Chains A and B, each alone.
Chain A
Amino acid sequence: MPAFVSDANKSRFRLFTLATLAASTALGSAAARADTTLTVATVNNGDMIIMQQLTPEFEKTHPGIHIRWVTLEENVLRQRVTTDIATSAGQFDVMTIGNYEVPIWAKQKWLTQITPDAAYDVSDILPPVREGISVDQKIYALPFYAESVMTYYRTDLFKKAGITMASQPTYDEIRQYADKITDKSNQIYGLCLRGKPGWGENMAYLTSLVNTFGGQWFGQGWKATVDTAPWKAAVNWYVSGLKEDGPPGATSNGFNENLALFASGHCGMWIDSTVAGGLLFDPKQSKVASEVGFAPSPKGPYGKGPTWLWSWNLAIPASSKHQAEAQAFVTWATSKEYVQLVAQQKGWVAVPAGTRASTYANPAYQKAAPFASFVMNAINTADPNGQTANPRPYTGAQFVGIPQFQAIGTQVGQIVAAALSGQTTVDQALKSAQSSVTRTARQTHLGG
């Protein structure tokens, strides 16, 4: 904490706290319990909601530990947990964070190292996911679910247009398909992609797109390379594809909005996270469950480079006062037994995906989730630490693994959204993106 908040200030603040306390006696805090109560912060995604519903199962097997949930939408969650951990306020005992945050926060010594026992079977976790939560071979969070990227398409629309999806599509082919199946008068849009600005929204997709077009964020010596030819090609493909074949309001569509669009039958193709598979194939949540086809993520001119790897992990902040209990919860919620429990209660298609080889080896899961082997393959080949067309000084597949990326990604995300809405041209947009990235890099002394 900054030395600035002197004791004098604190006591003054307390004084007027006391003054107001009298009139607000009803506002007291809950009586202390002998048992431990863990406060768990998580995202309001489907898999986490199931975890929340299964809390009684955990409390049954761990008497004396109670769970209190703080469920928030992703952006609000991120700002809450970041403020909390950076000021070591200690309001949360368990936090749900991405593989972007884990290594950065672990290096700040904000997270507690986690040492699961042998029964937890760390080697069962898919290797790229495991690497994402480790720093120097030590584990700082446990993966709840993980995702890569793939292409979803509507088999009925493809049949009607008389085309078939290639087993490994290229971006040129995707565009041709999209032109053929778009039927705006019936509100069928050939191509749905993320357009909502944000480093975890449109920039996640674009970073992955740029990689396969042969571009990257920074070259050697942390020189920004956002205005290079591969970026121009990639962003032009993206903007013109969405303008011609995309849904209206593309700049408001993130993952969730596109999921709703596809599930309600408005999208012909959608390139996004593998986690959508379980939801699109579920007839209760999707009107097109029996017409969903899937293919690997398309390849651009370069065709190689990291694709996409995101995992939601449960981590324990160093400021938590209930370390042992938090560790018990975190290992429970990411264990093989938990997967079994979800399968029993909600069916195999609902189990958290992408983390454990044993889940993919299970015939019951393979049967319930026809896309299972695809997803595992996509994750295993996501290659977040791999090389881009030119050497790069950072790691990460659909993000840049540096603290500055939230700032850079947010700004460039807005600039790209402006290009998508037609406010600026792609060339102008990338020029101002380049200057914005350079500015932030200089301001934060990136690369020394």
Chain B
Amino acid sequence: MAIKRPKSHTFAIGLLGWAIACWVFFPIAWMALTSFKTEVDAIATPPQFIFRPSLASYHEVFARANYWHFTLNTVAISLGATIVALALSVPAAYAMAFIPSQRTRGTLLWMLSTRMLPPVGVLVPIYLLARNTHLLDTLTGLGIVDMLTNLPIIVWMLFTFFREVPAPILEAGRMDGASRWQEMTLVLLPLALPGIASTALLSIILCWNESFWSLNLTSSQAAPLAAFIASFSSPEGLFFGKLSAASTLAVAPILVFGWFSQKQLVRGLTFGAVK
């Protein structure tokens, strides 16, 4: 910065920034804190900030449900759906960005509009289709559905990234006799990699947090963390501690993942749509 601000000014901004950050983060912190309380402490009034930490809730959660099974399922579904979605949308976005036609705009908006329907409206048809194709309660089945729900957004994001790549660079490649396919894989992909990475990160996060199809298309073998949460929400008796422990366990992996990939997410976004 060329001009130094007065110290007090910086301090006030810092204070405001931290106050808002703490307020926004507080529910998550409180959830994590509550997960280390006994059930009786968890509903004490007034709420306790200082208490004797206990792992009782975690013990119970782990005794009742195979957390790792749910987590591995979630990881497999999120990664699988993201990879397949990228494999489908990279060529599509390439075609839209570099071989546009009058229909491009319409196609893109149609794709996005498929995403605006409440999933529950088509639950019974999808359920019947999944039953008839033996995809109920399989990772493949839920993976396909998650992939399809995210596909429009992925295509659109990639499109905005690709469009930022100057066409002459690609054309220069073609002069050298590169095919469209080579042009895409050898020239475009390395250039657009940060954008693709951002898109993949976003897709993983969205898959991880999808709950409607997760609950309805799986039962045991392929059940992801959304189903894990459903077995701890509002049972009989006191449950705030167990609920918090289960919630913390379900959120922690993706939260930590998000923290670490945040920089990459931002770097990629700078490259494309948001520039």
Interface 9-residue window, one of B92-100, B173-181, B217-225, B259-267: B217-225
Q: Known contacts being A5-B129, A24-B140, A27-B139, is A46 close to B220, with CB within 8 Å? A: no
A29 beta carbon closer than 8 Å to chain B = yes
Which residues A39-64 have CB closer than 8 A to chain B?
39, 41, 43-46, 49, 52-53
Q: Are B63 and A53 neighbours in the complex by a CB distance under 8 Å?
A: yes
B116-141 vs A: 1/0 string, CB under 8 Å? 00000001100111011101111110
Q: Are B80 and A27 neighbours in the complex by a CB distance under 8 Å?
A: yes
> Cβ of A287: which chain B residues have Cβ within 8 Å of it?
40
Q: Known contacts being A23-B87, A287-B40, is A45 close to B235, with CB within 8 Å? A: yes
Q: Are A41 and B219 neighbours in the complex by a CB distance under 8 Å?
A: yes
B83 beta carbon closer than 8 Å to chain A = yes
Q: Known contacts being A24-B140, A46-B237, A260-B239, is A87 close to B215, with CB within 8 Å? A: no
| Contacting residue for B236 out of A76, A91, A256, CB 8 A | A256
Count chain B CB atoms within 10 A of each CB in A1, A53, A87 and give the residue with the most: A87
**Which single residue of chain B is at the shortest CB-CB distance from A74?**
B234
Which residues A1-32 have CB closer than 8 A to chain B?
1-2, 5, 9-10, 13-14, 16-17, 20-21, 23-24, 26-30
Q: Are A87 and B127 neighbours in the complex by a CB distance under 8 Å?
A: yes
B230 beta carbon closer than 8 Å to chain A = yes
> Cβ of A255: which chain B residues have Cβ within 8 Å of it?
236
Which residues B59-88 have CB closer than 8 A to chain A?
63-65, 76-77, 79-81, 83-84, 87
How distant is B210 from chain A, measured CB to nearest CB, in Å? 15
> Cβ of B81: which chain A residues have Cβ within 8 Å of it?
24
Q: How large is the interface on A (under 10, 10 to 19, 20 to 34, 35 or more residues)?
A: 35 or more
> Cβ of A13: which chain B residues have Cβ within 8 Å of it?
129, 132-133
Q: How many A-B residue pairs have CB under 8 A?
A: 146
B202 beta carbon closer than 8 Å to chain A = no
| Contacting residue for A80 out of B129, B131, B215, B234, CB 8 A | B215
How distant is A432 from chain B, measured CB to nearest CB, in Å? 25
| Contacting residue for B65 out of A1, A71, A263, CB 8 A | A71
> Cβ of B231: which chain A residues have Cβ within 8 Å of it?
44, 71-73
> Cβ of A28: which chain B residues have Cβ within 8 Å of it?
139-140
Q: Known contacts being A89-B127, A264-B238, is A27 close to B133, with CB within 8 Å? A: no
**Which single residue of chain B is at the shortest CB-CB distance from A83?**
B127
Q: Are B45 and A24 neighbours in the complex by a CB distance under 8 Å?
A: no
> Cβ of A329: which chain B residues have Cβ within 8 Å of it?
none
Q: Are A83 and B216 neighbours in the complex by a CB distance under 8 Å?
A: yes
| Contacting residue for B83 out of A23, A29, A68, A76, CB 8 A | A23
Bound-state CA distance A14–B240 (Å) is 43
Which residues A267-305 have CB closer than 8 A to chain B?
275, 279, 285, 287
B204 beta carbon closer than 8 Å to chain A = no
Q: Known contacts being A29-B138, A69-B220, is A256 close to B235, with CB within 8 Å? A: yes
B144 beta carbon closer than 8 Å to chain A = yes
Bound-state CA distance A21–B80 (Å) is 9
Q: Are B230 and A256 neighbours in the complex by a CB distance under 8 Å?
A: no
| Contacting residue for B219 out of A44, A70, A275, CB 8 A | A70
| Contacting residue for A285 out of B76, B144, B237, CB 8 A | B237
A365 beta carbon closer than 8 Å to chain B = no
| Contacting residue for A264 out of B43, B64, B220, B236, CB 8 A | B43
Bound-state CA distance A276–B50 (Å) is 31
Q: Are B132 and A10 neighbours in the complex by a CB distance under 8 Å?
A: yes
How distant is A12 from chain B, measured CB to nearest CB, in Å? 10
Q: Known contacts being A20-B144, A24-B80, A72-B227, is A46 close to B235, with CB within 8 Å? A: yes
Q: Are A259 and B236 neighbours in the complex by a CB distance under 8 Å?
A: yes
Q: Are B215 and A30 neighbours in the complex by a CB distance under 8 Å?
A: no
A-B contact pairs, 11 of them (CB 8 A): A16-B144, A20-B84, A28-B139, A43-B235, A68-B220, A84-B219, A91-B219, A260-B239, A264-B43, A279-B236, A285-B237
Additional A-B contact list (13), CB under 8 Å, known A24-B143, A52-B64, A71-B64? A1-B128, A1-B131, A9-B129, A27-B143, A28-B140, A29-B138, A43-B235, A49-B64, A70-B220, A71-B231, A73-B235, A256-B234, A260-B43
